[in-house]
Structure 1
């Protein structure tokens, strides 16, 4: 029997090897550990894959360097891996280091299917972020100590400019990190030091720089400051109009915007693919913006076993677009802005009323025409197969129904070692957030639906937040009633649609927060606006003393215009003394609270709940 099994195993292995054709990057001139540019080698190797299927581009383990085609300050972006119209191709790194230089994008995956990147790390020798230790902060100057070799700069006319490989920048968007645990310094947000780095500077002894003036706050000695020198330059991995993409066992130490951006793509999986601080180099930062961001995708966005640290924005954001109707052209056509690009012919499109924010009739896109107006602005003419809704007007919205993705996020760690929030998700498809550990600076989970600023759609219909641990989240949440601070509660559900009465139709539906553990130092558990079917059940709430309470929201729950709310069967620590549920645009009978929960329901009084 063992002999037969061995034969079957060998046969299966032989078939697998023959199913994948392996090509070596070294056959195209790439030399590991040589520090020579391999961009052309990669280009030639990928060209050889054109028209082929089931190919593996193999990188023998080593260091491989990617250099931009221009190093003279040009805004042109060089792409390391440029994949177009390829199918079933695997990039196998074998534990290699991919080192990028200057203004570069890691990968473009356009109009592809079945692409896998696996088993490598990515970094920049000179990242677009610098860091320094604060030596002293006073009312008249700020002293910092910086490694000039790692983070080179020049001083001209008493002002500092940071330099890199083919770039120079005076931009210094800053965040502060605790010297001991390397987490975001509590109760600090963006630009914590103000514009101090644009002020007069002088070099002093032992690598110390003195900036004259008073910084916005005076942080403790030893605090570490990160200084980003760009914002949204170019993404790391851009997945565009592609299907079945897998990023597996990848460590991304740096990228010049989002680590991963998916647009109009179907089925994207990130498995143990993390944006991570390169601690071996003494850093406290990783990438410039979001770890991952997905706009108008479909199928399933699956994120498992990822731990992102040091990035300049949220852990993940999944959403569509609320596209403003600028002009009704005729009975079947409208004009929209440039974000009309997030549509394809044949898509199902919801029409949304601006006042109610409710999805209405569905239209089918028949034609999409780019337009340029007399004022120079650009947009799209969208034509539908059937007449537009009779009550549609300028200022209303359209939302793409076809390009809406579900999200499965499991076994991840969402930590304080990056700015802002944890998970942002607005999609009509199913959302499962399960078995994760949250230890965030801002809100752990933010569910919005935006019709007044970012215009990120859309209303959620089925969200399950289960079996997670939330520990001491919200150390840089909303302290001052300011929407630009990083969230009101551990779970914040704040669409921009505002209820006007207890009968206003809810925006979101069916959000379940069940079987989680909340370890909290402050009051806010949930803030929710305009939800029908909000369940907070079978959770455990444990009071900690890790930090001092400070938040703007003083109640456990702050609810606005919600319907069918159930709060029951939760185990609540006696030391968690906040038992208030504050409501507005609601009636008390729209909430069911278990008798043993000891919560008191009251109406909002003397609180400005709609923030700036």
Structure 2
């Protein structure tokens, strides 16, 4: 309260003098009532600054730590730049108020941006005031009349929770190999909102006894990560942001997506063109934490233009490092000039931010996934889309994908390691994934997809180049229930998890996989399905397909399923079970 009063008083004095620094181009937040490193909540003072910005202003955070109890919001601005100190004296934005002992499973964002254009965010560190997940090493395994259990010794850095260990609300348990690869020996979710969380007994200062039906699958010495919260809002939420540049941002931990991008129904600007440079999401160097981000690192749900990530690093993520897609809908009704589109995920009429006037919709066969035609949007209202013309052969139950609101994707010179799901999931018309290093990932390092089975994420790939990537120990463990779903270290499918391999050739087209180095993958190094025009050449594949956990297909270093116009040549193999399979 004192801080806010001083802030308002300072503003009033400046206005009385006929001058306000908020009309200047650079706003130093410490000159307006914001005090770093004092542990007090800076949110209200900072929000007043953001609300007073003019187009083109720059907001500067000098070195120090700034605390936030809830989200900052920026809307309706053009040309804003938010940045911190450069060099050894860094600027940290600290989220506060995380409560691992509460069954409430949502949390606020750090920054929500709506309806903005030409936004730059750079040179900042992001953290949370308490660990959002904790981990340790399995000391013992056993069973009793109460069920299977394991004994877990937590790392000393989690001592702040020691007095109330038995009260922790655990959302998810995940096991890891000694090298930090999530191995899915256990991967157990709990619904905290319904009071469904595991039974815990405290045996010592940092020793827990945790009951889990699958504890018998574990071995002593394995690591366990206890995710204390997964749901909630992204650290950065960008809705209706046109031309976004984020560079030199480090996020040490966050209990949900790190960055989320989508559209906004009633805004001047449409989400378009996102560039990420030197983004880091990883545990602090001094920490033994296994997990940094509890869910996806970057999740793009709707955007036009180009998504570009360069020289970024992702370590210890709870889900995909990068997931690029738009929403896949189904046709619920067809009239003379319009269609009713149903959100494949919610089964309700699709939201008005799904597509806009003059956007192009591509229709896909509801059974085969093959293209049926395109049309331009003339008008939209509550799931009803009036079109310039209706393709003659579309039917109720066919899919509708946003052709113009799925970005071209470029991912290059990035690193991903020790993460739970996949490295890059890309569902874009045009794709380039080049010169990345990806290792110790449960699922595929690179997955090109258009999920028509569960998540309903689009769109199909029209042209892709996967080249120069170094991939090690990927695609071995990822499961959906009791079924392994990795298929290949590089995989092309029509679904993320079970299935997604039986659609005919032509769902995806023109995919080149060239000059990648792939090693130590239990299943196929490269698995491609449902593609017309695939070229696989000059890849170096070592020690793959020996420990196959995917029946039949996983025995081949390269497998093509339902592909035509394919070329496979000049690849080198060493220590593989079988070279090439095809059906």
Same fold (TM over 0.5): yes
User: Number of residues paired by the alignment?
Assistant: 519
| 1:84 equivalent in alignment to 2:36 | no
Corresponding residue number in structure 2 for 1:100: 95
Q: State the Cα distance separating 1:363 from its structure 2 match.
A: 2.1
Q: Distance in 1 between matches of 2:260 and 2:65?
A: 25
**1:211/1:453 Cα in 2 relative to 1: closer, same or farther (>3 Å)?**
closer
Question: Structure 1's 281 and 539: CA in aligned 2 closer, same or farther, altered over 3 A?
Answer: closer
Any gaps of 5 or more consecutive residues in structure 1?
A: 1-18, 68-77, 163-169, 371-379, 585-612
Moved over 6 A (4+): 192-195
Q: Distance in 1 between matches of 2:331 and 2:357?
A: 18
CA distance in 2, matches of 1:203, 1:44: 45
2:295 is equivalent to residue 285 of structure 1: no
Structure 2 alignment gaps of length 5 or more: 1-22, 99-106, 264-270, 343-347
Name the counterpart of 1:176. Answer: 175
Offset at 1:96? Answer: 0.8
Shift in alpha-carbon separation, 1:477–1:212, aligned structure 2, 3 A: closer
1:394 paired to 2:399: no
User: Is 1:27 aligned to residue 27 of structure 2?
Assistant: no
State the partner residue of 1:315. Answer: 321
2: CA distance, partners of 1:90 / 1:561: 48
Does residue 134 (structure 1) correspond to residue 144 (structure 2)? The answer is: no
Shift of 1:571: 2.5
Instruction: Quote the residue 2:536 is aligned against.
Output: 536
Offset from partner CA, 1:10-55 (integer Å, 9 cap, x none) = xxxxxxxxx98211101221101111111112212112213x32x2
**How has the CA–CA distance of structure 1 residues 241 and 200 changed in structure 2, closer, same or farther, with 3 Å as cutoff?**
closer
CA distance in 2 between counterparts of 1:463 and 1:239 reads: 26
Q: Residue 433 of structure 1 corresponds to which residue in structure 2?
A: 433
Q: Distance in 1 between matches of 2:293 and 2:527?
A: 30
> Contact (CA 8 Å) 2:337, 2:388: kept in 1 or not?
no
CA offset digits 1:166-210 (Å, max 9, x no partner): xxxx3431112334x3x1244636329999x94544322343222
Match of 1:326 among 332, 335, 343: 332
Other-structure match for 2:280:
274
Which stretch shows the higher mean deviation, 547-556 or 518-527? 547-556
> Is the partner of 1:557 in helix, strand or coil?
strand
1:407 maps to 409
Q: Indicate if the aligned counterparts of 2:471 and 2:519 stay in contact, CA closer than 8 A.
A: yes
Superposition map of 1:443-482 within 5 A: 443-477=444-478
Contact conserved, 1:347 with 1:402, CA < 8 A, in 2? yes
Quick check: which one's strand share is greater?
Answer: 2
The TM-score with structure 2 as length reference comes to 0.82
| Residue number in structure 2 paired with 1:602 | none
Cα pair distance change 1:325/1:124, threshold 3 Å: same
1:350 to 358, 362, 382: 362
Question: What CA distance in whole angstroms lies between the structure 1 residues aligned with 2:208 and 2:506?
Answer: 54
> CA 1:185–1:317 in structure 2 vs 1: closer, same or farther (change >3 Å)?
closer
Cα distance, 1:498 vs structure 2: 6.1
Whether the aligned pair in 1 keeps the contact of 2:523 and 2:544 (CA below 8 Å) is no
Structure index of larger Rg: 1
Which of 110, 113, 121 is residue 117 of structure 2 equivalent to? 113
Instruction: Encode CA deviations 1:578-611: one digit per residue, 9 max, x unaligned.
Output: 22x3322xxxxxxxxxxxxxxxxxxxxxxxxxxx
Secondary structure class of the residue paired with 2:375: strand
SS at match of 2:374: strand
TM-score by length of 1: 0.79
Q: How does 1:481-492 map to 2 (within 5 A)?
A: 485-492=484-491
CA distance in 2, matches of 1:333, 1:551: 40
Once the two structures are superposed, the pairs formed by residues 139-178 of structure 1 within 5 Å of their partners are: 139-140=143-144, 141-146=149-154, 149-151=159-161, 154=164, 160-162=166-168, 170-178=169-177
Which whole-Å CA distance do the structure 1 matches of 2:464 and 2:216 have between them?
A: 39
Describe how 1:592-611 pairs up with structure 2 within 5 A: none
Deviations 1:484-513 (A, max 9, x none): 53511111112156657xxx5521111111
CA distance in 2, matches of 1:217, 1:98: 42
Q: 1:218 Cα shift?
A: 4.2
Per-residue CA deviation, residues 196-242 of structure 1 (Å, 9 max, x unaligned), is x9454432234322235654444333433212233331111111111
Structure 1 pair 23/567, CA: closer, same or farther in 2 (3 Å)?
Answer: same
1:125 counterpart (129, 136, 139): 129
- CA separation of 1:64/1:509 partners in 2, compared to 1, >3 Å: closer, same or farther? same
CA–CA distance in structure 2, aligned partners of residues 59 and 200 of structure 1: 44
- Shift of the 107–486 alpha-carbon distance from structure 1 to 2, 3 Å rule, reads farther
Q: Deviations over 1:456-492 (max 9, x none)?
A: 11110111011111123233256xx978535111111
Q: Secondary structure at the match of 2:278?
A: strand
Inter-partner Cα distance in structure 1 for 2:384 and 2:308: 34
Partners of 2:355 and 2:494 in 1: CA distance: 23
Deviations 1:446-465 (A, max 9, x none): 12212221111111011101
Shift in CA distance, 194/25, structure 1 to aligned 2, threshold 3 Å: closer
Measure, in 2, the Cα distance between the counterparts of 1:29 and 1:359.
Answer: 58
Distance (Å, rounded) in 2 between the aligned partners of 1:152 and 1:124: 18
Alignment partners' CA distance in 2, 1:361 and 1:240:
29
CA distance in 1, matches of 2:520, 2:209: 39
Task: Find the residue that maps to 1:324 and give its secondary structure.
Answer: strand
- Choose 466-475 or 284-293, whichever is displaced more: 466-475
8 Å Cα contact 1:139/1:213 also seen in 2: no
- State how far apart, in whole Å, the 1-side matches of 2:49 and 2:438 are: 41
- DSSP 3-state at the match of 2:48: helix
Contact 1:329 1:335 in 2 (8 A): no
Matches within 5 A, 1:68-79: 78-79=70-71
Deviations 1:339-364 (A, max 9, x none): 44321122121222213322233222
Q: CA deviation at 1:551?
A: 4.9
1:576–1:499 distance in 2 versus 1, CA, 3 Å: closer
- The residue number in structure 1 matching 2:386 is 383
Contact between 2:186 and 2:218, CA under 8 Å: does it hold in 1? no
Conserved in 1, the CA contact under 8 Å of 2:245 and 2:276? Answer: yes
Superposed displacement of residue 434, structure 1: 0.8
